[in-house]
Structure 1
């Protein structure tokens, strides 16, 4: 037994109210359980009770054992002076208030259905399962799961929004600047994402904006900032970019990163940071006001059109500055663009529309539903448990479910867990 489960039982009144009594046989009628307090002080505030027909308004404190009151030194804390009921799982000692009267105590274990306790143990006491409800989730109604996944998806968006809000504060609410920073991070993928973000946030976006119409200057700026122009290489294109970057560096007082921030090891050549920088440069050169275009997008094909870009001729025959390779177009693949939609475009659109007080749910859901579900080990294991993601919204929601609910055993806060707990 733990206090979280006690809170859950009390909050949702999952106990018998027939003949509900204190340990001293005083009748209790719970009119309002109160508001769950997650800060310091009693667990539930502003509760309303009748104890032997006397109406009481105040707070409720909960413990596994009565003696925990003294263990937590509540008798020394004035925040607990307005407690009107002590709810415990097991009573082992009387608690006295300042007036030397015993605090009314409800021993909850006498009023909780055994079926609820059995379901709780099945969910949370099996440490071998991949998720607590691994073998029970099949029994949950699909309608409930679908609705819960939609809510989880927006919870995930809210988490991503926090990062975006921080970037917006640093960039004076310049959405074009934050789009550049997020695109850079996601062009770097998992391995180089932080390095890409570091170089993208190391420069005032006004400089990027000024040179974005000039393909050569923009390439020089991005490769120079990321440290790839610091070496002495005989390749003519490298020397041209280096000369241009030196001019920009002097003009705008730029400080490059070390190229050692970027990883090539165990990466496919098409994901090399040099190729991703070349693609990012081409995208920004094609669309100087990309954010204003993306914010109007509703259909996935419109995004694909915007992200159809051509790298410069040099990069069609190179993966790095040093060596030539077989010619290839190195266009952005649809699967890569899908990741950008999931991790950059939709979260940024979500924040923009929300900040403006505009309705956003329908636009966001329409766009994310057009994307295929992601493929990874978590989505595969949910599929084995008969929870099959039909689109990217559901795969994103399942990631949120696994990472922030299942792994943390937050079944009491999960719609699926709630359904299983209360099942007969």
Structure 2
């Protein structure tokens, strides 16, 4: 089992882009680059022309790096520490903001997100290109500036692929390669920059209402109500984004608090929150059979191509198995967020995903009721327990369904806990 470790780059005013926490084993469900054994050229030909040249971009700021290693690792975010393993990682990706110059009249430079995939990670880059193209397509060259400059939109609920290009490595990337390695072109993936920030940073964000750094300074009832509604909105948005992927036959495969992106950290703005998924380098697209007859004809062309999967409770196909793993991973992500955001002492090692995974998955063997009793005995987590216990325990019921594998993401997005 491999994993990924994200290190924050320079510049604290820009939200970092975090990598998937875990890489799946290279198997029949592995990334396209391994699954098909196709060459990079074949994959890029199937994706289509990237539509960009390196001369059209000016790098603005490095956001961070994605490191892949063979043991579990995590994230260091200054005042939001998460335990890390020994640094045996190899950097695979460097993320930047960059200005895109279209060269056309009346089209001012627009900020984009670009990922520089080092040579050893080209298979991951090719996989991400294929998955994102499958999920939302890639704009025609003549429309790339318009899409890049467009306002934030809730749909699609994934980072929007603009294109890609091949170019030489940056000096920083070359410095990370072994001394004997020959320089070669890197694959650069270009994404729409929408000002989103990873969920990992939300619990530490200062709130004007008095809640910040995971601590309650004021204790106003309205502040706690807004925080509870925000956490419910995050839950609903993440499930809706996952529904979009699952209904297209895509399993994310590496959900973590850095792969869930938020449009705002302001609890008072929970009603306009936009949630999107990022980091599809280890995602898998699994084919599902098409529908036939009148029902299929009545669907949109996209739904006809990517129909709803069978009910998870009775489905043992690779797609359903992958969906269950995504939902279980999301349970850990949501618990990490809720416990970190509501704990009196703020985010800590005890509220990290690694700790929750160990407790819920290993100690209690995914027994939500036993985990609930554990949380109730922890004084620091009482606010989170109260939130999950609202509406006759709607939050605990949702967690049980997430780890139980009997309900789809679409069904869970309509659950009582997700009603604001």
Fold shared per TM-score above 0.5 = no
TM-score by length of 2: 0.20
Structure having the larger proportion of residues in strand: 2
More helix by share: 1
